[in-house]
Structure 1
Amino acid sequence: MREEARTHENTGHAPPERTVAVAGPASAARAFTGRLPDGALLPVMAVVVVCSGVTQGYLTPLLPGVGRHVGVGGVGQNNLYLLSQVSFAVLTPLLSRLGDLFGHRRLLRLSVAAVALGSLLMALRPSVATLSAGMVLQSSVVGFFPLLAGILRTRAPERGRTGMSVLVGALLLSIGIGGLIAGTLSDHHAVEGLWTAVPVALLAVLATLLLPEGRAARAGRFHYGAALLLGLGLVGLVLVLAQGAAWGWASGRSLGCGLAGVVLLVCWVLVERRATHPLVQVRLLGDPRLAVVNAHTFCLAFGAIGFLGANAVFLGTDAREAGYGPGLGSQAISLVSLGMVAAGCAASTATPYLARRTGDRAMLLTGGIGAALGFLLLVVLHGSLGQYLLGALVVGCATGVFEAVTRSLATEAVPGEETAVSVGVNELSLSLGAAIGAAVIGALFAAHPGRGGHPAQAGFVWAWGVCAAVALLGALTALVPSAFRERPATVPPARG
């Protein structure tokens, strides 16, 4: 709390009161706001994060069956994923900035309500139109972590590290459980699994009524011109990443779309530098510590998250058709994925404890080297399911470590009034890293065709090797000498 008070003194903003009045007619919100017991803050936040995890995890095993039910083929299903990716990229910085500007809790309530509405819309009447609209609304989950980080930093700064690691663990675990439940429900009927996210989203709506405000609304205006430039620039880059393999990386569409995205983002930076009320402080992008954290996030997400789809492909490949692979069914693949996220949950929970003893730099090295080791194990040991699981579980542990430590560092590296934007930029680094990783892996598969329409085993070996190399590069970012100043020994670590 002393560090928070000093931050407010330096920035000229008064620290928020512990109890914040709530505008609006909702008597339930007035009754609960600001009165949540300290010990209940993290469990209530975890409900919101579980909603995010289930929403991100439950559609993957469902979309092929649901697509057939509504008459959407493989191309149409890919376009739905593309729509979702574009929405993720655009909404990440916008929701974060709006939260810092108008209040974290207010934007969190709107985001959770949008996810609940989208989930209910798809479950009640599945069609191409409702699936498209629902997935766009569900993309509001990208705001959950930045906005929760803003509330947590204000209301329980002494639990910041432990709280963030607990929330990351809940996110990873709920992704796996959501996919497993949805896949099991859809064994009976293709669209039954669409109801998986509805009760969880409604619980999250109720949970947001219990949460206190992160901080008072900040003075300033929303820069619509900067938002348009940033959104269109990100759309251009995401389109190239998602469609480059189909269009051809050297085609006119790919090059034109990529160039337009880069030009728009350069214009956005120029506009932001001159703006009185910028959408994102450009200096955040050049801050040495944040630059290292975001580069590390990008490199680890490249493989740890970018390979998730290919992981399911390998597990589902039948050796009788392709000459390799365990040939698992959907439910068995979901169980393997659940094992990986359970390992990540355990590692995330242990990360604050280890960071207090070894330092942040050591934890970044641990996450990067762990991910590289896991992928190298897959390169060498993939002849049986047991061998494959060894490498996959190591990657799962590394995922928990890097997600916990990078989110904590992104939260702590900026003044309190910029918390959500900083975490939002980190989330965007994660999304772009995963998208580029998936695109590179797809290109490697296309370069190594195999039997029966499957990629050759060499394609997977190359993909694992590239993921290991990029993860090792992420580990090396922690060695940048000016990026990290370890906490002085005289300063006690945060409790929790």
Structure 2
Amino acid sequence: MTTTVRPTTPRTGLWTVVGFLVGVEVASGILQGYYTPIFSDIARHLSIRDADVNWFEAAQLVVSALVVPLLARLGDLIGHRNVLLVSTAVTALASWAVAFSPGFTTFLVAWALQGFYVVWLPLEVSIIHRRTAGTGRQTVLTRRAAAFLVAALELGVIVGALTSGALVDGGAASMTTVLMVPAVAVTLCFVVVWFGVAATAPAGHGTVDWRGFGLVTLALALVMGGLILVRLQGPGSLAAWVLVLLGLLALVPFARFELRVAEPLIDVRLLATPGQWPVQLTAFLFGMSVLGAQIPLSTFARTDPAVVGYGLGASAGFVSTLIGVYVVALVAGALLLPVVARGLGTRGAMVAACVLVAVGYGLFLPFHGSTLEALVNMAVAGVGSGGLVAALPAAAAAAAPADRTGFVTGMTNTTKTIGGAIASSVFAIALATTGSLDPDSAAGHAPLGGYLTVWAVCAGTALLAAAALLVVPRQAFAERT
């Protein structure tokens, strides 16, 4: 006797669920935007040097890169909503620990564990993708919902950045109180998911590939550790490059093992299909600009042209305005994605977004001497970036089997994070040499050539991503029957 397992019937409509998930992405945006304006204040709060703040970024990137494949696979096995709840709970506890951490070490550990939030958007896309099965418009509805989620994310970034800046500038609240705001937001996010998002039946079967997880953890830890050493000790560090080489070599036994097991943690065969590898490669290349270029853009804007002959000489407040323009452009790009996709198709829309990113950063090469030029460049790159943020997980889900959507959407975040980490190290090397001829007045400023390198790499990787997407079969993202 054969028993047919049917998905559980959602207790609420699709767009009601999307509304609750929008609240989750607002909280995610607050996490991503809240701390950036106050890193120096956090350093003083912990009695550490500003340079030590880099450890927070490195630790969280490592955790994010490791947990996303595992949590995405668990989402396919035990339900995407259940894993969303678990990751939200861990992030909430870590956020409260960040607020009350007494020193550098506990703050570092808590900050790293906050990296669990990066799996939220892939899980949400998987939830929506599952709920739209059988509608005949699964790809369209998923892409449209993803655009709203990304718009909510970027709105949260703006709200977070403005709120933290206002609280710190006001001076009335202690740093512990200031750091409690994201913890409150994430805790409310857990309540929203618990009561607002109905569970659906797991899409996959099997077990978690713990051996594969151990091997990929080893490979990523070695590569990321080597890149961190490059960032801290410079490109002349032999130990750093040995670690990077060992990490890359560790991928060989990992790939061989994954090809042999029935239920791999990272499905190498699936990632190698024509509909997947260009999307994942695009996510990797896109991460180099969307994650790696943030700090160089900020430091360039703050550089005083009267001292070194370049830069915008912007105040911290005006840098927030620049960030706001970029985020608004991201929102516009995410919301325009469904419209452009109707005319150009999903693949065409993603190629167009990559080209916009390339044009935006490419414009920085000749035009970087005024605030207006920087605003225009960032707006162009922002529209393309917003389209890619919304399109990548939806495209990966559309080109994957129904029981592997959580895995492939999670992998877009993993590859993007790894790309950002690599770019962050490369850009740190490019900007390491002082550009000052006067050690008393301009010590510590990066050379203009370093910034030109950053923008050229961002533009070049975006064009490579566009080329990769051109080889995707035209019907890879079409509606499945």
TM-score (norm 2): 0.91
Match of 1:28 in 2: none
Question: Residues of 2 paired with 1:276 and 1:391: CA distance?
Answer: 47
Q: Is the 8 A contact 1:375 1:391 kept in 2?
A: yes
Q: Is the 8 A contact 1:47 1:203 kept in 2?
A: no
Match of 1:102 in 2: 78
Question: Residues of 2 paired with 1:247 and 1:410: CA distance?
Answer: 37
How has the CA–CA distance of structure 1 residues 246 and 214 changed in structure 2, closer, same or farther, with 3 Å as cutoff? same
Question: Residues of 2 paired with 1:230 and 1:492: CA distance?
Answer: 33
Match of 1:6 in 2: none
Task: Select the residue among 431, 445, 454 that pairs with 1:463.
Answer: 454
Question: Residues of 2 paired with 1:419 and 1:443: CA distance?
Answer: 37
Matched, 1:165 2:147: yes
Q: CA deviation at 1:475?
A: 1.5
Match of 2:182 in 1: 197
Matched, 1:297 2:287: no
Task: Select the residue among 133, 138, 146 that pairs with 2:114.
Answer: 138
Q: Is the 8 A contact 1:178 1:196 kept in 2?
A: no
Q: Is the 8 A contact 1:177 1:338 kept in 2?
A: no
Match of 2:331 in 1: 345
Q: Secondary structure at the match of 1:196?
A: helix
Q: CA deviation at 1:192?
A: 4.0
Bigger shift: 262-271 or 284-293?
Answer: 262-271
Q: Secondary structure at the match of 1:254?
A: helix
Q: Secondary structure at the match of 1:431?
A: helix
Question: Residues of 1 paired with 2:4 and 2:465: CA distance?
Answer: 38
Q: Is the 8 A contact 2:14 2:128 kept in 1?
A: no
- The correspondence of residues 346-425 of structure 1 with structure 2, limited to 5 A, is 346-425=332-411
Q: Secondary structure at the match of 1:288?
A: coil
Q: CA deviation at 1:448?
A: 6.0
Q: CA deviation at 1:125?
A: 4.3
Match of 2:7 in 1: 17
Q: CA deviation at 1:381?
A: 1.4
Match of 2:92 in 1: 116
Cα deviations by residue, 1:396-446 (Å, 9 ceiling, x for unpaired): 111011112212111111112111110111111111121222222222212
Q: Is the 8 A contact 1:185 1:192 kept in 2?
A: no
Question: Residues of 2 paired with 1:112 and 1:205: CA distance?
Answer: 6
- The correspondence of residues 243-322 of structure 1 with structure 2, limited to 5 A, is 243-322=229-308
* Letter of the structure 2 residue corresponding to residue 316 of structure 1: R
Structure 2: tracts of 5 or more residues without a match: 437-441
Matched, 1:179 2:150: no
Identical amino acids, percent of aligned pairs: 28
* Letter of the structure 1 residue corresponding to residue 459 of structure 2: A
Match of 2:439 in 1: none
Match of 1:78 in 2: 54
Q: Secondary structure at the match of 2:276?
A: helix
How has the CA–CA distance of structure 1 residues 286 and 122 changed in structure 2, closer, same or farther, with 3 Å as cutoff? same
Structure 1: tracts of 5 or more residues without a match: 1-11, 20-33
Q: CA deviation at 1:47?
A: 1.1
Bigger shift: 306-315 or 216-225?
Answer: 216-225
Matched, 1:49 2:49: no
Q: How many residues end up aligned between the 2 structures? A: 465
Match of 1:326 in 2: 312
Question: Residues of 2 paired with 1:453 and 1:471: CA distance?
Answer: 30
Question: Residues of 1 paired with 2:474 and 2:13: CA distance?
Answer: 34
Match of 1:208 in 2: 193
How has the CA–CA distance of structure 1 residues 300 and 413 changed in structure 2, closer, same or farther, with 3 Å as cutoff? same
Question: Residues of 2 paired with 1:448 and 1:13: CA distance?
Answer: 69
How has the CA–CA distance of structure 1 residues 325 and 147 changed in structure 2, closer, same or farther, with 3 Å as cutoff? same
How has the CA–CA distance of structure 1 residues 315 and 281 changed in structure 2, closer, same or farther, with 3 Å as cutoff? same
Q: CA deviation at 1:455?
A: 0.9
RMSD, aligned α-carbons: 2.3
Bigger shift: 296-305 or 219-228?
Answer: 296-305
Question: Residues of 1 paired with 2:187 and 2:105: CA distance?
Answer: 22
* Letter of the structure 2 residue corresponding to residue 465 of structure 1: A
Q: Is the 8 A contact 2:332 2:383 kept in 1?
A: yes
Q: Is the 8 A contact 1:95 1:143 kept in 2?
A: yes
